[in-house]
Structure 1
Amino acid sequence: MDYKRGRYSSLMKPLFGFIDLTIVIASTFLFALNVSNIYLFAGYLSVFWVIICFKNHFYEVERHAKITHIIPLLVRQMFFFAIVLYTYIGVFKQPNISRLGLANYLGTVFVLISVVKIFTFLLLRRYRAVFKGNIRNVIVIGQNERTRQLIKIFKTRLDFGYSFMKVFNVRKSDFCLESCFTYIIDNEVDEIYFSVAELSNHQINELISFADNNLRELKFIPDNKDIFSKKLKYEYYDYIPILSLRSIPLQESLNKYVKRLFDIVFSSFVIVFVLSWLTPIIAILIKLESKGPVFFKQSRNGFNYIEFDCYKFRSMMVNKDANLHQATKQDLRVTKVGKFIRKTSIDELPQFFNVLFGSMSVVGPRPHMVVHTNLYAIKVDKFMVRHFVKPGITGLAQISGYRGEVETDKDIIGRVKYDIFYIENWSLLLDLKIIFKTFSNAVEGEEKAY
Structure 2
Amino acid sequence: MSNLIIFGHFWMDGKSYPSLLLISGLSTVFTYFLSRQNLINVTTQIPQLIWKNVEFIFLYILLVLMYWFAINSINYSKEQITLFFLFYFILILGANAYYIRVLRWYKIDIPCVNTLVIGENKFTQQFIESIQENEWMGFKFIKKLVPGQFSRDGFAEFLEESKIDAVFINWDEFAQNEQREQVLRNIVEEKNIKFFAISEIFASKLIPSTYYLAGNFPYLNLYHFPLDNAFNLTLKRLFDVFFALSFFVFIGIWLFPMIALINLLDSGFPIFFKQRRHGMDNIEFNCLKFRTMVVNKDSNDKITVRNDPRITKFGKILRKSSLDELPQFINVLKGDMSVVGPRPHMVNQNNHYNQIISKYNFRHYVKPGITGLAQVNGFRGEIKRDEDMKNRIQSDLYYIRNWSFGLDLMIIYRTVANMIKGDKNAI
TM-score scaled by length of structure 2: 0.70
Distance in 2 of aligned mates of 1:159 and 1:304: 21
Distance in 2 of aligned mates of 1:93 and 1:266: 25
**Cross-structure match for 2:299:** 322
**Cross-structure match for 1:191:** 166
**Cross-structure match for 1:409:** 386
**Cross-structure match for 1:284:** 265
1:106-159 Cα offsets, whole Å, 9 max, x none, are 9xx98x99986775454333223xx69444332210122432331232233345
The 8 Å contact of residues 103 and 109 in structure 2, kept in 1 or not, is answered as: no
1:301-328 Cα offsets, whole Å, 9 max, x none, are 2233233333434444555443333333
Distance in 1 of aligned mates of 2:93 and 2:320: 57
The 8 Å contact of residues 141 and 193 in structure 1, kept in 2 or not, is answered as: yes
CA change 1:283–1:357 in 2 (3 A) is farther
Pairing of 1:54-93 with structure 2 (within 5 A)? 63=43, 92=77
Distance in 2 of aligned mates of 1:297 and 1:255: 28
1:141-196 Cα offsets, whole Å, 9 max, x none, are 0122432331232233345343322211115xx43354444444333333210123
The 8 Å contact of residues 127 and 133 in structure 1, kept in 2 or not, is answered as: no
CA change 1:34–1:366 in 2 (3 A) is same
Distance in 2 of aligned mates of 1:239 and 1:365: 37
Distance in 2 of aligned mates of 1:156 and 1:34: 54
State the Cα RMSD in Å: 4.8
Distance in 1 of aligned mates of 2:333 and 2:200: 47
Distance in 2 of aligned mates of 1:365 and 1:385: 10
Give 3-state SS (helix, strand or coil) of 2:211's partner.
strand
Amino acid at match of 1:271: G
Give 3-state SS (helix, strand or coil) of 1:435's partner.
helix
Distance in 1 of aligned mates of 2:282 and 2:385: 24
Distance in 2 of aligned mates of 1:317 and 1:117: 48
Pairing of 1:37-436 with structure 2 (within 5 A)? 63=43, 92=77, 120-128=99-107, 133-170=110-147, 174-199=149-174, 200-222=177-199, 233-237=210-214, 240-244=217-221, 245-247=223-225, 249=227, 252=230, 254-255=234-235, 257-269=237-249, 270-286=251-267, 293-436=270-413
Distance in 1 of aligned mates of 2:367 and 2:284: 11
Distance in 2 of aligned mates of 1:64 and 1:361: 22
Runs of at least 5 residues in structure 2 that lack an aligned partner in the other structure: 28-38, 55-75
Q: Is 2:419 aligned against 1:438?
A: no
The 8 Å contact of residues 130 and 217 in structure 2, kept in 1 or not, is answered as: no
Distance in 2 of aligned mates of 1:141 and 1:160: 19
CA change 1:127–1:319 in 2 (3 A) is same
Distance in 2 of aligned mates of 1:157 and 1:312: 44
Q: 1:37 Cα shift?
A: 6.9
1:262-297 Cα offsets, whole Å, 9 max, x none, are 35314424421322223323432446xxxx755444
The 8 Å contact of residues 244 and 329 in structure 2, kept in 1 or not, is answered as: no
CA change 1:35–1:260 in 2 (3 A) is farther
The 8 Å contact of residues 342 and 371 in structure 2, kept in 1 or not, is answered as: yes
Distance in 2 of aligned mates of 1:126 and 1:26: 30
Amino acid at match of 1:246: H
Distance in 1 of aligned mates of 2:369 and 2:321: 17
Runs of at least 5 residues in structure 1 that lack an aligned partner in the other structure: 1-22, 48-58, 78-90
1:76-127 Cα offsets, whole Å, 9 max, x none, are x9xxxxxxxxxxxxx9476xx9xxxx9xx99xx98x9998677545433322
Q: 1:398 Cα shift?
A: 0.2
Distance in 2 of aligned mates of 1:374 and 1:176: 23
The 8 Å contact of residues 134 and 214 in structure 2, kept in 1 or not, is answered as: no
Give 3-state SS (helix, strand or coil) of 1:379's partner.
coil
In terms of Rg, which structure is larger?
A: 1
The 8 Å contact of residues 166 and 194 in structure 2, kept in 1 or not, is answered as: yes
Q: 1:218 Cα shift?
A: 1.2
The 8 Å contact of residues 220 and 243 in structure 1, kept in 2 or not, is answered as: yes
Q: 1:31 Cα shift?
A: 8.6
Distance in 1 of aligned mates of 2:422 and 2:181: 44
CA change 1:425–1:274 in 2 (3 A) is farther
Distance in 2 of aligned mates of 1:143 and 1:120: 38
Give 3-state SS (helix, strand or coil) of 2:188's partner.
helix
CA change 1:350–1:256 in 2 (3 A) is closer
Distance in 1 of aligned mates of 2:355 and 2:5: 56
Q: 1:335 Cα shift?
A: 4.5
The 8 Å contact of residues 140 and 192 in structure 1, kept in 2 or not, is answered as: yes
TM-score scaled by length of structure 1: 0.67
Amino acid at match of 2:121: N
The 8 Å contact of residues 292 and 316 in structure 2, kept in 1 or not, is answered as: yes
